[in-house]
Structure 1
Amino acid sequence: MRIGVVTSAYHPDIGGVETHVRRLCAALAAAGDEVEVLTQHAHGSIESIDGVLVRRFPLTVTAANYRFSIGLWRWLRRNAGRYDVLHAHSYHALAALPAALTNRTPLVFTPHYHGTGHSRLRAALHPVYRPLGRRIVARAARVICVTRAERELLTSHFPEARERMVVVPNGTDPAPELMASPEPGRGILCVGRLERYKRVDRVIRAMTHLSAEHRLDVVGAGPAREEWEQLAARLGLLPDRVVFHGRLSDDAFGARMASAAAVVSASGHEAFGMAVADALTAGIPTVASFIPAHRELAAMAAPGAPLWLVNPDDEIALADALRHAAATARAEHGRNALPTWSDVVLATREVYAAVAPRVRVIQQAAGAGARD
């Protein structure tokens, strides 16, 4: 099957959607599908990553929150018919619009839906954008939600699409066998795009209630980094107690995961929670915010998984959970019951098969006419 995957950003850009799309596309390509990623970037390019052809179209509008490429629109208007299925990602980015509005190729939509914007401006514009969002949802033959919690939230805003929604949880990769470099103290890893809704500031404040042996390693980039660095400096936590690493290569990030005593996600909104799932797969004790997506992950994980759910607005409770997690030994690999990306590919290909046009195969028998 030939699949065109439309997304606002792609590896090496980082974030939950970017991670989801890269892993899905790599797994689809490994399963034998012909996958092309259609995305946006400051500069146009064509390259192959993980066996996936990645077409990057130059940005026409470079605003961080509302990136937009006319080149992507033109490509889809002219070339969408070359794909059996288009799979668009993220309600919260404009890239899904050309996939929905420029052609009639069967469309699958994974919204990664949070229900609101993550700044005052974006939250205010969210209701204004909803008519366009409704057109994407209406155009989609199937809408893939990554948790039941996301499906219920999406249904509350788009009830007419309930019968076209399916739940396919994100997958996890086998934990790599990495040797951790020896480091002093107990590292607590926080990874993700540095947006305010990730609430890393709560974790930074909680660090003031932990002993000096605890260190917070923040991995990722985003608009809130400067604000949170200033907070850590005011609290006297820079440069030893809180370290901002920015973006890391895959190998460097793997080494950071290998050395982490605990992982934390204080996010206020998640459609799934990739950081939490990856940590549980690696057996790393994890502290996560008590939001619907994380509660659903807790129910999916194996009994006894080292996971603490807390309210990040309670600094003392968050600090206590981090202290206990960092002092807990890692679980054995393979103990979690979360789906793998192989599971995701099987379920996603079933969705594609349900919406792709059926092909009539003509066989020619010797001495006979053509028949179906």
Structure 2
Amino acid sequence: MRIVHVADSFPPDVGGIERQVEALALAEQADGHDVSIITAVNKDGAAPTSLDVHRGLRTRWLTIAFPSLNHAMVAEVFDREDVDVVHAHFTVASPIAIYAVRAASRRGIPVAVTVHSVWWKVASVHRFVSGVFFGPSRMRVVYSGVSTMIARHIRRVYPRCGEVSVVPNLVDTQWWSPAAPSLHRAGDPDFRVVLVGRLKKRKHIDEFIEIMSRVQAEVPAGTPVSVSIVGAGPRHDDRAKQIDELGLRDWVHLLGHRTPEEIRDLLHESDLFVAPSRQEAFGIAALEARSAGVPVVGYNFTGLADFVESGVEGLLVDDADDMVESLAKLLVDAERVEQLKASTRARPPRVTFDDAMQATYAFYDRARRELGGRAKR
């Protein structure tokens, strides 16, 4: 197949969506497909790649405000030879993706849209951009979400959109899995808690630090706990100040950026992984931790519910109060934590790399079946 991915975010920008689009395109290329990328990101210093990447205007805000200024670039990709499917990746703001979807629809190219972010936010921006900048939206597409939760949101917002597929993010679960038994036991000499995420507002790491302050007040004084927060970002200084103000310096440590190999080694000797975001559409870092054999503590109304069975592979809680109570109980119960670690390691993840690839190709087949082949020019 000739596949064109359209994403407003792409490397060298850093983030989960950027990683996912690149990883999916490379996997499809490895499967023998002809793959191109259209993106709004045009930065100097982008690493060389085997992918056919077409970047928007050098001045990024012009692409955001006036995506139609990229008309010639989009037309060149779509018209140089037949395209079997356009895979558009929607986030909260996706002006070039929306523009390219409409351009593909006019040409009769099947379009498969995957929503990567909490849908009600995406829907609001989608409607505004489509209506204000492009007139009434006339997009012929099929929809998918990266999790059951996102698919449910799409159906609720657009009840006439038809079937909504679930196309999980790609995580090489085998690469993250432990090769040997852990040498560390919970509470011996400490309970090791890990969080991996960019230090940005939407990750709710400030709320997690506040939760840990409340947990500290609930457990006996001197309870040995070591919390490692892995990740860099614009809120680093704010979080460091918060940790000091709450008296958590002995408990909580900001490790900054770490390589995937370093993160994997850290996870293999950890007891719990916490996913504190209440807007987690999927939870890439959480699935990586779960694949590494670490029980995950997160919210039951997020994408984590697709691959974490509460009580077996971690705990899924209702709200912040529930998370405080659950962590406070676990961090004084080494036997319970070890039980969760054993059951997590004993079960293969419910979402694997192969599952995600099969779901993606099935989604493309559905788009081509429901939307038909390319119209004649």
TM-score after normalising by structure 1: 0.76
1:338 partnered with 2:350: yes
Does the aligned pair in 2 maintain the 1:181–1:255 contact within 8 Å? no
What secondary structure is seen at the aligned counterpart in 1 of 2:119? coil
1:317 partnered with 2:325: yes
Deviations, residues 142-178 of structure 1 (Å, cap 9, x unaligned)? 21122332122112222221x1422233354212457
Paired letter, 1:310 = V
1:264 partnered with 2:268: no
CA distance in 2, matches of 1:306, 1:200: 22
Does the aligned pair in 2 maintain the 1:91–1:133 contact within 8 Å? no
Task: Quote the offset at 1:44 in angstroms.
Answer: 4.8
Aligned length: 347
Paired letter, 1:272 = F
The aligned counterpart of 1:110 is 114
Does the aligned pair in 2 maintain the 1:286–1:325 contact within 8 Å? no
Does the aligned pair in 2 maintain the 1:40–1:56 contact within 8 Å? yes
CA distance in 2, matches of 1:312, 1:62: 37
Task: Quote the offset at 1:202 in angstroms.
Answer: 2.7
Task: Quote the offset at 1:255 in angstroms.
Answer: 2.8
The aligned counterpart of 1:169 is 168
Q: Cα distance 1:350–1:53, how it changes in 2: closer, same or farther (>3 A)?
A: same
What secondary structure is seen at the aligned counterpart in 2 of 1:102? helix
What secondary structure is seen at the aligned counterpart in 2 of 1:78? helix
The aligned counterpart of 1:362 is none
The aligned counterpart of 2:207 is 202
The residue correspondences of 1:1-372 to structure 2 (distance < 5 A) are 1-11=1-11, 13-41=13-41, 43-44=43-44, 48-49=48-49, 52-57=51-56, 59-61=58-60, 73-81=71-79, 82=81, 83-94=83-94, 95-103=96-104, 104=107, 105-117=109-121, 128-129=128-129, 131=131, 139-161=139-161, 163-173=162-172, 174=174, 175-177=176-178, 185-208=190-213, 209-210=215-216, 211=222, 213-238=224-249, 240-298=250-308, 301=309, 305-314=312-321, 316-320=324-328, 323=331, 328-329=337-338, 330-331=341-342, 333=345, 335-356=347-368, 358=373
Paired letter, 1:78 = E
Does the aligned pair in 2 maintain the 1:6–1:39 contact within 8 Å? yes
What secondary structure is seen at the aligned counterpart in 1 of 2:331? helix
RMSD: 3.9
CA distance in 1, matches of 2:332, 2:67: 47
Does the aligned pair in 2 maintain the 1:170–1:344 contact within 8 Å? yes
Paired letter, 1:228 = R
Paired letter, 1:89 = H
Deviations, residues 169-199 of structure 1 (Å, cap 9, x unaligned)? 3354212457899997443221223343432
Task: Quote the offset at 1:336 in angstroms.
Answer: 3.0
Task: Quote the offset at 1:312 in angstroms.
Answer: 4.5
Does the aligned pair in 2 maintain the 1:268–1:289 contact within 8 Å? yes
- Which range moved further: 26-35 or 106-115? 26-35
Task: Quote the offset at 1:284 in angstroms.
Answer: 0.4
CA distance in 2, matches of 1:89, 1:269: 17
Q: Cα distance 1:62–1:312, how it changes in 2: closer, same or farther (>3 A)?
A: farther
Deviations, residues 323-356 of structure 1 (Å, cap 9, x unaligned)? 2687723336461341322222222223223434
Does the aligned pair in 1 maintain the 2:89–2:113 contact within 8 Å? yes
CA distance in 2, matches of 1:213, 1:89: 43
Q: Determine what percentage of the aligned residue pairs are the same residue.
A: 25
Does the aligned pair in 2 maintain the 1:4–1:36 contact within 8 Å? yes
What secondary structure is seen at the aligned counterpart in 2 of 1:6? strand
Task: Quote the offset at 1:110 in angstroms.
Answer: 0.5
- Which range moved further: 324-333 or 226-235? 324-333
Task: Quote the offset at 1:90 in angstroms.
Answer: 1.9
Q: Cα distance 1:194–1:346, how it changes in 2: closer, same or farther (>3 A)?
A: same
Does the aligned pair in 1 maintain the 2:278–2:302 contact within 8 Å? no
Paired letter, 2:103 = T
Paired letter, 2:355 = D
Structure 1, unmatched stretches of 5+, are 360-372
Task: Quote the offset at 1:310 in angstroms.
Answer: 1.9
Does the aligned pair in 2 maintain the 1:11–1:19 contact within 8 Å? yes
What secondary structure is seen at the aligned counterpart in 2 of 1:342? helix
Task: Quote the offset at 1:217 in angstroms.
Answer: 2.0
Paired letter, 1:96 = A
What secondary structure is seen at the aligned counterpart in 1 of 2:160? helix
Deviations, residues 216-243 of structure 1 (Å, cap 9, x unaligned)? 22223445444333221211224x5322
Deviations, residues 113-148 of structure 1 (Å, cap 9, x unaligned)? 41344xxxx999687457479989852432112233
Task: Quote the offset at 1:287 in angstroms.
Answer: 0.6
Q: Cα distance 1:3–1:214, how it changes in 2: closer, same or farther (>3 A)?
A: same
The aligned counterpart of 1:363 is none
What secondary structure is seen at the aligned counterpart in 2 of 1:41? coil
TM-score after normalising by structure 2: 0.75
